[in-house]
Amino acid sequence: PGRADGSVTERIADAVSRVLLPMADTVFDLHSFGPTWDFPPAVITHPIADAHLMAKTLQMAEAFKLPVTLLWEHADTTGMFDSWAHSQGKVFICAEFGGGTVSAEALAAYEAGIRNALIKLGLVEGKVENVSFRQNRSSQALETLVSDEFKSPAPGIFEPRCSVLDEVKHGDLLGVLHAMDSLSAESIDIRAPGPSIVLAIRSGAHVDRNEAVAFVARPLKI
């Protein structure tokens, strides 16, 4: 929640959690996945212990009609804004609007998704639109676990060998790490451990040891 007498960041966190959050029923956290990633337009929430709040949150997430509605299990969500909002009984939606690039198609998808959500809340009038992404208007609910994150075994150049939303099976190549810590080091294949869907793939070339290079997901079973 922050501190009213702390650093600038702590004071902002305090104002948001103490002043703004109590006035809200629903919170939208809108941002992108990061400048070195390829990521589909998605609405994300974390597992919530309160089953009623979990159901309400998933319903709100699905109202965006974005290509992906994702239930993401994080190793540690302590101190995150969404965890605090959930503890206060608020519906909290995190929208990941792509990665480090912007395109006309993706921007149209983001705008349509937000408009759909505002229509769901009754804040604006209009007709809900099925969002198009890569010439596909379907939406899918996915989940990703802590174990679905793949990290680089060495510093080097990561070469992606798949695209987001690709379906992969056991042994399929996600990418290749060209190690740079030794002139004699061989390239390292990073492969899918089982049937899954590529959720995110690193696109920023250079990576450090133990830095994430890919995430996979699978259909959410509700």
Q: What mean pLDDT do residues 112-134 have?
A: 92
CA distance 95 to 115: 13
Calpha distance 94→73 (Å, rounded): 13
Q: Quick check: 63 pLDDT over 70?
A: yes
Q: What is the pLDDT of residue 222?
A: 65
Mean pLDDT of the chain: 90
Can you tell me the mean pLDDT for 52-60?
94
First to last CA, the chain: 31
Domains (range + CATH), the chain: 8-144 (3.40.630.10), 148-219 (2.40.50.100)
Mean pLDDT of all residues in 23-38: 90
**pLDDT band with cut points at 50, 70 and 90 for residue 138:** confident
Q: How confident is the model at residue 122 (pLDDT cuts 50, 70, 90)?
A: very high
| Dihedral Cα 213, 218, 221, 222, nearest 10 deg | 40
Residue 104 pLDDT more than 90?
no
Q: What pLDDT score does 130 carry?
A: 86
Rg of the chain on CA atoms, in Å: 19
Which residues have CB under 8 Å from 220's CB, separation 6+?
69, 70, 71, 141, 142, 143
Q: Is pLDDT larger for residue 152 or for residue 78? A: 152
CA distance 194 to 200: 16
Please report the pLDDT score of residue 102 as a whole number: 79
